[in-house]
């Protein structure tokens, strides 16, 4: 019988990251951003309705012995405004219009705050990762099936930016510059970098950021392409990788985002 992890009594919060294929959770040390145990992962149900997903989140949380007052944050692949899901891309369409804060709070039996998954990952990079201690405007992008984005100004998250859907040269940006587009069209890193240069140049013109953080699975290969992107703003690879969504959701759920 597998032992239930006992979580140390430290400044902690619990993060859950909901994806199209898996739902992952772990307690997070708010002082360091480190996961305090291995993640618990359960596959996302095929019929991924709000109720079915909330039940999996309850199972993930129940795997750990946590103090009753531990803050819980949940990241979702959707824009969220005052707890309400505005639309849903990768889960069941019945999520639209659901108050995810209320749903998760009722299901998990404790206060829960929800956040867009790209916002959670981006905020984690500012709080603990590649953009830690960076003042001014930071734009975090995740290059994957699409392009996720997070905009953080002087440590304050501006939610639900969806900068992957900017129209650039008559195209939805992510349709040309995501890592999926690179694979689909068989682009070399050099040709892809030209498209990324165009994309980041537009972001640069619109926001005059102080730093770009480039995440997504392809960031593991950052040495192949980051140096080929020709913009004035510094670009750095994301640091937290697969734990970013959990860490960011946990941090944003903590009172005053304190560490």
For residue 89, the tally of other CB atoms under 10 A from its CB is 12
Query: Strand 112-116 vs strand 72-76: parallel, antiparallel, or unpaired?
Result: parallel
Condensed to tens digits (0 to 9), the pLDDT of residues 85-115 reads: 999 988 999 999 999 999 999 999 999 999 9
State pTM to two decimals: 0.90
How many residues belong to the chain?
A: 259
User: Do 106 and 58 share a structural domain?
Assistant: yes
User: Do 234 and 137 share a structural domain?
Assistant: yes
Q: Residue 79 falls within a domain, yes or no?
A: yes
User: Do 76 and 32 share a structural domain?
Assistant: yes
User: Do 44 and 110 share a structural domain?
Assistant: yes
Please tell me the predicted confidence (pLDDT) of residue 89: 82
- The domain containing residue 71 runs over which residues? 12-120+243-257
Residue for token pair 């999996």: 56
Please tell me the predicted confidence (pLDDT) of residue 10: 59
Furthest C-alpha separation in the chain:
58
Please tell me the predicted confidence (pLDDT) of residue 217: 87
Residue for token pair 């199209």: 20
Please tell me the predicted confidence (pLDDT) of residue 64: 97
User: Do 80 and 147 share a structural domain?
Assistant: no
User: Considering its fold, how many domains does the chain have in total?
Assistant: 2
Residue numbers in the chain where pLDDT is lower than 50: 1-4, 7-9, 258-259
Please tell me the predicted confidence (pLDDT) of residue 1: 41
Residue for token pair 């040269």: 169
Can you say whether residue 224 is alpha, beta or left, with left for phi > 0 and alpha for psi between -120 and 50 degrees? alpha
Please tell me the predicted confidence (pLDDT) of residue 142: 94
Condensed to tens digits (0 to 9), the pLDDT of residues 214-243 reads: 998 899 999 999 999 999 999 999 999 889
User: Do 174 and 95 share a structural domain?
Assistant: no
Please tell me the predicted confidence (pLDDT) of residue 205: 98
User: Do 248 and 233 share a structural domain?
Assistant: no
Q: Residue 125 falls within a domain, yes or no?
A: no
Q: Residue 2 falls within a domain, yes or no?
A: no
**CA–CA dist 41, 64 (Å, integer):** 12
β partners of residue 224 = none
Q: Residue 7 falls within a domain, yes or no?
A: no
Q: What is the CATH number of the domain that holds 89?
A: 3.30.420.40
């Amino acid at each position: 019988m597998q032992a239930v992890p006992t979580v140390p009594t430290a400044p902690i919060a619990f993060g859950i990251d909901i994806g199209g294929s898996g739902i992952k959770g772990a307690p997070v040390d708010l002082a360091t951003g480190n996961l305090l145990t291995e993640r618990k992962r359960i596959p996302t149900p095929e019929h991924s309705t709000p109720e079915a997903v909330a039940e999996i989140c309850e199972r993930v949380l129940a795997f750990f012995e946590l103090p009753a007052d531990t803050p819980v944050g949940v990241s979702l692949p959707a824009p969220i405004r005052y707890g309400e899901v505005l639309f849903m891309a990768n889960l069941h369409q019945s999520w639209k219009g659901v108050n995810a804060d209320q749903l998760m709070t009722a299901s998990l039996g404790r206060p829960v705050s929800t956040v867009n998954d790209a916002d959670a990952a981006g905020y984690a990079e500012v709080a603990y990762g590649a953009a830690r201690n960076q003042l001014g405007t930071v734009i975090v992008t995740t290059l994957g099936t699409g392009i996720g984005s997070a905009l953080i100004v002087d440590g304050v998250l501006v939610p639900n930016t969806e900068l992957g859907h900017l129209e650039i040269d008559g195209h939805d940006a992510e349709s040309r510059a995501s890592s999926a587009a690179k694979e689909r069209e068989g682009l070399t890193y050099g040709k892809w970098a030209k498209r990324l240069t165009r994309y980041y140049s537009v972001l640069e013109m619109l926001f005059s950021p102080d730093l770009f953080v480039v995440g997504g699975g392809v960031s593991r290969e950052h040495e192949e392409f980051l140096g080929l992107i020709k913009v004035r703003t510094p670009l750095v690879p994301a640091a937290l990788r697969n734990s970013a969504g959990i860490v960011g959701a946990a941090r944003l759920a903590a009172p005053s985002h304190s560490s």
